[in-house]
Amino acid sequence: MAQETAALSLVHLVRPPVTPPAPGERAPLLVLLHGVGGNEEAMLAIAPAMDPRFLIVSARGPHVMGPRAFGWFHVTFTPQGPAIAADEAAASWAAIARFVDEAVAAYEADPGRVHLAGFSQGAIMGLATLLTAPERVAGVVAMSGRLLPEVLPHAAPDAALDGKAVLIVHGVDDQKLGVHYARGARETLARFPLRLDYRELPMGHAMTSESVAEVARWLSARLVEPPAAR
Protein backbone atom coordinates (compact mmCIF):
# COMPACT_ATOMS: atom_id res chain seq x y z
CA MET A 1 0.00 0.00 0.00
CA ALA A 2 1.32 3.42 -0.95
CA GLN A 3 1.62 6.00 1.82
CA GLU A 4 1.03 9.74 1.72
CA THR A 5 3.85 11.49 -0.10
CA ALA A 6 5.90 14.54 0.80
CA ALA A 7 5.95 17.61 -1.47
CA LEU A 8 9.20 16.96 -3.33
CA SER A 9 10.50 18.17 -6.70
CA LEU A 10 9.17 15.10 -8.57
CA VAL A 11 5.67 13.69 -8.26
CA HIS A 12 5.98 10.23 -6.75
CA LEU A 13 4.38 7.39 -4.83
CA VAL A 14 5.82 5.68 -1.76
CA ARG A 15 5.60 2.14 -0.47
CA PRO A 16 6.99 2.00 3.05
CA PRO A 17 9.15 -0.97 4.02
CA VAL A 18 7.08 -4.06 4.76
CA THR A 19 9.81 -5.12 7.18
CA PRO A 20 10.68 -1.98 9.17
CA PRO A 21 14.31 -1.28 9.97
CA ALA A 22 15.69 -2.13 13.38
CA PRO A 23 15.65 0.62 16.01
CA GLY A 24 18.30 3.20 15.26
CA GLU A 25 18.64 2.10 11.62
CA ARG A 26 17.24 3.53 8.40
CA ALA A 27 15.55 1.65 5.58
CA PRO A 28 17.34 1.16 2.26
CA LEU A 29 15.80 3.22 -0.55
CA LEU A 30 14.79 1.91 -3.97
CA VAL A 31 13.79 4.57 -6.51
CA LEU A 32 11.75 3.29 -9.48
CA LEU A 33 11.97 5.12 -12.82
CA HIS A 34 9.36 4.44 -15.50
CA GLY A 35 9.78 4.40 -19.26
CA VAL A 36 8.54 6.90 -21.82
CA GLY A 37 4.75 7.02 -21.81
CA GLY A 38 4.60 5.37 -18.40
CA ASN A 39 3.90 6.72 -14.95
CA GLU A 40 4.73 6.19 -11.31
CA GLU A 41 1.66 4.04 -10.67
CA ALA A 42 2.52 1.48 -13.34
CA MET A 43 6.11 1.18 -12.15
CA LEU A 44 5.04 0.69 -8.54
CA ALA A 45 3.36 -2.55 -9.65
CA ILE A 46 6.69 -4.37 -9.26
CA ALA A 47 7.05 -3.27 -5.62
CA PRO A 48 5.44 -6.42 -4.12
CA ALA A 49 8.17 -8.54 -5.72
CA MET A 50 10.98 -6.50 -4.18
CA ASP A 51 12.74 -7.15 -0.89
CA PRO A 52 10.39 -6.16 1.96
CA ARG A 53 13.16 -4.17 3.65
CA PHE A 54 13.16 -1.54 0.89
CA LEU A 55 11.45 1.80 1.20
CA ILE A 56 10.27 2.16 -2.39
CA VAL A 57 9.67 5.48 -4.12
CA SER A 58 8.29 5.51 -7.66
CA ALA A 59 8.99 8.81 -9.42
CA ARG A 60 7.18 10.48 -12.32
CA GLY A 61 9.10 11.94 -15.24
CA PRO A 62 8.71 15.72 -15.68
CA HIS A 63 7.53 15.73 -19.31
CA VAL A 64 3.90 15.09 -20.26
CA MET A 65 3.59 12.68 -23.19
CA GLY A 66 -0.18 12.18 -23.07
CA PRO A 67 -3.00 11.41 -20.63
CA ARG A 68 -1.35 9.78 -17.60
CA ALA A 69 1.75 9.33 -19.74
CA PHE A 70 5.07 10.91 -18.85
CA GLY A 71 8.73 10.77 -19.78
CA TRP A 72 12.18 11.93 -18.80
CA PHE A 73 12.95 13.40 -22.23
CA HIS A 74 11.38 13.51 -25.66
CA VAL A 75 12.61 10.96 -28.18
CA THR A 76 11.91 10.22 -31.83
CA PHE A 77 12.58 6.77 -33.21
CA THR A 78 14.21 7.00 -36.65
CA PRO A 79 15.71 4.42 -39.03
CA GLN A 80 19.11 5.56 -37.76
CA GLY A 81 18.10 4.98 -34.13
CA PRO A 82 16.55 7.05 -31.33
CA ALA A 83 16.98 10.83 -31.59
CA ILE A 84 16.73 12.44 -28.18
CA ALA A 85 16.27 15.90 -26.72
CA ALA A 86 19.69 15.89 -25.08
CA ASP A 87 19.07 19.01 -23.00
CA GLU A 88 15.96 17.44 -21.47
CA ALA A 89 17.84 14.23 -20.72
CA ALA A 90 20.64 16.10 -18.95
CA ALA A 91 18.15 18.12 -16.93
CA SER A 92 16.33 14.93 -15.92
CA TRP A 93 19.37 13.01 -14.72
CA ALA A 94 20.29 16.04 -12.60
CA ALA A 95 16.70 16.21 -11.33
CA ILE A 96 16.81 12.56 -10.29
CA ALA A 97 20.01 13.13 -8.33
CA ARG A 98 18.37 16.03 -6.49
CA PHE A 99 15.24 13.98 -5.91
CA VAL A 100 17.27 11.19 -4.32
CA ASP A 101 18.61 13.65 -1.75
CA GLU A 102 15.10 14.95 -1.10
CA ALA A 103 13.63 11.46 -0.70
CA VAL A 104 16.41 10.35 1.65
CA ALA A 105 15.73 13.37 3.86
CA ALA A 106 11.94 13.31 3.66
CA TYR A 107 11.52 9.60 4.33
CA GLU A 108 14.57 9.15 6.57
CA ALA A 109 16.15 6.51 4.33
CA ASP A 110 19.71 5.22 4.53
CA PRO A 111 21.79 7.48 2.22
CA GLY A 112 24.40 4.74 1.84
CA ARG A 113 21.91 2.17 0.55
CA VAL A 114 20.15 3.89 -2.34
CA HIS A 115 19.45 1.98 -5.55
CA LEU A 116 17.71 3.04 -8.75
CA ALA A 117 15.73 0.60 -10.88
CA GLY A 118 14.49 1.80 -14.24
CA PHE A 119 12.70 0.38 -17.25
CA SER A 120 13.44 1.55 -20.80
CA GLN A 121 13.87 5.34 -20.59
CA GLY A 122 13.97 4.96 -16.82
CA ALA A 123 16.90 2.57 -17.22
CA ILE A 124 18.63 5.15 -19.39
CA MET A 125 18.13 7.74 -16.66
CA GLY A 126 19.32 5.39 -13.93
CA LEU A 127 22.61 4.71 -15.69
CA ALA A 128 23.06 8.42 -16.43
CA THR A 129 22.47 9.35 -12.79
CA LEU A 130 24.94 6.76 -11.56
CA LEU A 131 27.67 7.90 -13.93
CA THR A 132 27.19 11.61 -13.27
CA ALA A 133 26.27 11.57 -9.56
CA PRO A 134 27.67 8.33 -8.10
CA GLU A 135 27.77 9.81 -4.61
CA ARG A 136 23.95 9.64 -4.59
CA VAL A 137 23.53 5.92 -5.35
CA ALA A 138 25.08 2.56 -4.49
CA GLY A 139 23.79 0.81 -7.59
CA VAL A 140 21.43 0.74 -10.56
CA VAL A 141 19.23 -1.80 -12.29
CA ALA A 142 18.78 -1.06 -16.00
CA MET A 143 15.90 -3.02 -17.55
CA SER A 144 15.49 -2.88 -21.33
CA GLY A 145 17.41 0.37 -21.68
CA ARG A 146 20.58 1.73 -23.21
CA LEU A 147 23.51 3.96 -22.33
CA LEU A 148 23.36 7.46 -23.79
CA PRO A 149 26.65 8.46 -25.41
CA GLU A 150 25.76 12.02 -24.39
CA VAL A 151 26.36 11.02 -20.75
CA LEU A 152 29.97 9.91 -21.13
CA PRO A 153 31.59 13.37 -21.24
CA HIS A 154 29.89 14.09 -17.91
CA ALA A 155 30.93 10.87 -16.15
CA ALA A 156 32.47 11.21 -12.72
CA PRO A 157 36.11 10.25 -12.10
CA ASP A 158 36.88 6.56 -11.75
CA ALA A 159 37.58 6.97 -8.04
CA ALA A 160 33.98 8.08 -7.46
CA LEU A 161 32.57 5.19 -9.51
CA ASP A 162 34.75 2.47 -8.01
CA GLY A 163 32.68 -0.42 -6.69
CA LYS A 164 29.28 0.93 -7.71
CA ALA A 165 26.96 -1.92 -8.74
CA VAL A 166 25.07 -2.22 -12.04
CA LEU A 167 22.68 -4.90 -13.28
CA ILE A 168 21.64 -4.84 -16.93
CA VAL A 169 18.62 -6.98 -17.85
CA HIS A 170 17.49 -7.09 -21.48
CA GLY A 171 15.29 -9.20 -23.71
CA VAL A 172 16.90 -10.91 -26.68
CA ASP A 173 13.66 -10.33 -28.62
CA ASP A 174 13.36 -6.62 -27.80
CA GLN A 175 12.00 -4.87 -30.90
CA LYS A 176 11.96 -1.38 -29.34
CA LEU A 177 15.52 -1.16 -28.07
CA GLY A 178 17.37 -4.09 -29.58
CA VAL A 179 19.62 -6.24 -27.44
CA HIS A 180 22.63 -4.70 -29.18
CA TYR A 181 22.03 -1.62 -27.02
CA ALA A 182 22.47 -3.69 -23.87
CA ARG A 183 25.57 -5.36 -25.24
CA GLY A 184 27.00 -1.99 -26.17
CA ALA A 185 26.27 -0.64 -22.70
CA ARG A 186 28.01 -3.63 -21.15
CA GLU A 187 31.07 -3.05 -23.30
CA THR A 188 31.23 0.66 -22.47
CA LEU A 189 30.54 0.27 -18.76
CA ALA A 190 33.27 -2.37 -18.51
CA ARG A 191 35.75 0.49 -18.99
CA PHE A 192 34.71 1.90 -15.62
CA PRO A 193 35.59 0.37 -12.22
CA LEU A 194 32.01 -0.80 -11.68
CA ARG A 195 30.72 -4.15 -10.47
CA LEU A 196 28.73 -5.09 -13.54
CA ASP A 197 26.24 -7.95 -13.86
CA TYR A 198 24.48 -8.72 -17.12
CA ARG A 199 21.46 -10.87 -18.01
CA GLU A 200 19.81 -11.59 -21.34
CA LEU A 201 16.38 -13.18 -21.09
CA PRO A 202 13.91 -14.66 -23.62
CA MET A 203 11.53 -11.70 -23.76
CA GLY A 204 10.74 -8.55 -25.68
CA HIS A 205 10.60 -4.94 -24.49
CA ALA A 206 8.90 -5.75 -21.22
CA MET A 207 9.16 -6.55 -17.57
CA THR A 208 8.22 -10.19 -17.03
CA SER A 209 7.87 -12.29 -13.90
CA GLU A 210 11.26 -13.82 -14.71
CA SER A 211 13.03 -10.49 -15.20
CA VAL A 212 11.46 -8.93 -12.11
CA ALA A 213 12.48 -11.96 -10.03
CA GLU A 214 16.04 -11.59 -11.35
CA VAL A 215 16.05 -7.94 -10.35
CA ALA A 216 14.65 -8.71 -6.90
CA ARG A 217 17.31 -11.34 -6.23
CA TRP A 218 20.08 -8.99 -7.28
CA LEU A 219 18.79 -6.13 -5.14
CA SER A 220 18.38 -8.37 -2.10
CA ALA A 221 22.00 -9.42 -2.46
CA ARG A 222 23.05 -5.79 -2.37
CA LEU A 223 21.51 -5.35 1.08
CA VAL A 224 24.04 -7.66 2.71
CA GLU A 225 26.85 -5.36 1.62
CA PRO A 226 28.16 -2.49 3.77
CA PRO A 227 26.50 0.87 3.04
CA ALA A 228 28.24 2.95 0.39
CA ALA A 229 30.11 6.03 1.52
CA ARG A 230 28.63 9.40 0.55
Q: Supply the pTM of this predicted model.
A: 0.95
Structure confidence by residue, pLDDT tens digits, 163-177: 999 999 999 999 999
Instruction: Name the phi and psi angles at 10, rounded to 5.
Output: -120, 135
CB 218 within 8 Å of CB 187: no
- Full set of structural domains in the chain with CATH: 12-222 (3.40.50.1820)
Q: What is the spatial distance between Cα 28 and Cα 112, in angstroms, rounded to a whole number?
A: 8
Sheet holding 109-119, edge to edge: 12-15, 55-59, 27-33, 109-119, 139-143, 165-171, 195-201
Structure confidence by residue, pLDDT tens digits, 51-95: 999 999 999 999 999 999 999 999 888 888 788 999 999 999 999
